[in-house]
A and B are shown apart, each in its own frame.
Chain A
Amino acid sequence: KAGVTQTPRYLIKTRGQQVTLSCSPISGHRSVSWYQQTPGQGLQFLFEYFSETQRNKGNFPGRFSGRQFSNSRSEMNVSTLELGDSALYLCASSLGQDVSEAFFGQGTRLTVV
């Protein structure tokens, strides 16, 4: 079956702009989590959505937001982009039960200039 699909793969944005990233989970998976990966901070949890509701949230400012649709697809939005938001954003999908295996997409590489 198809894996986790993230679009776009690469993005270049200017400071102050906003950006929306998309994630299509594996069919049947109801949980989608987002992570930010940077050389300095490593992998950090942003938030998790399950059945269209945010179930967990990491320690990121309110500029970072997300949502999940009824088909489990998820989007994350970053407003008022800063240079420090440049990162690889990874989406992971899981069946949804606690501690179910997480399958990661290839990520979206965001560069803020």
Chain B
Amino acid sequence: GNSVTQMEGPVTLSEEAFLTINCTYTATGYPSLFWYVQYPGEGLQLLLKATKADDKGSNKGFEATYRKETTSFHLEKGSVQVSDSAVYFCALNKGNAGNMLTFGGGTRLMVKP
């Protein structure tokens, strides 16, 4: 079946540090890949997405590149802010008729001033 594995947290960084959150997936075919962010007490917000190999998704300074050869979709940001503190989820959608997301376990990011 489909699965997503992401690095366990928490990840604690100082403001302006470089962020990488690793995500790898297992799926047949060509799934679409997503990063979602969850702030305390809220639902999930789509951060970025990529729908085919070598696509780069980007938003709010965050980037991730769909690497089919390594089945990875690592999230990066060059300079984190305190406001980026949240839980980040990597997810995939197989796309075979429907919107069914398979999520990774989530990575909590804590950014200190």
Interface residues of A (CB under 8 A from B): 4, 31, 33, 35, 42-45, 48, 50, 55-56, 58, 90, 92, 94, 96, 98-107
Contacts and interface: CB of A to CB of B under 8 A. Distances in A.
B69 interface: no
Contact of B97 (A35, A44, A94, A98): A98
A101 B46 contact: yes
B44 A33 contact: no
B17 interface: no
B103 A43 contact: yes
Which 4 pairs show the lowest CB-CB distances between chains A and B?
A104-B43, A43-B103, A104-B44, A56-B98
B93 interface: yes
A44 B75 CA distance: 21
A50 B98 contact: yes
Contacts of B44: 90, 92, 104
Contacts, number: 65
Interface string B95-113: 1111111111110000000
Contact of A106 (B42, B89, B97, B104): B42
B94 to A, nearest CB: 9
Nearest to B42: A106
Given A106-B42, A106-B43, A45 B98 contact: no
A98 B99 contact: yes
A107 B43 contact: yes
A72 B46 CA distance: 21
Given A104-B44, A105-B43, A107-B43, A43 B99 contact: no
A94 B95 CA distance: 13
Nearest to A3: B43
A48 B89 contact: no
Given A98-B99, A99-B32, A99-B95, A43 B46 contact: no
A102 B45 CA distance: 9
B20 interface: no
A21 to B, nearest CB: 13
A98 B95 contact: yes
Contact of A94 (B51, B99, B102, B104): B99
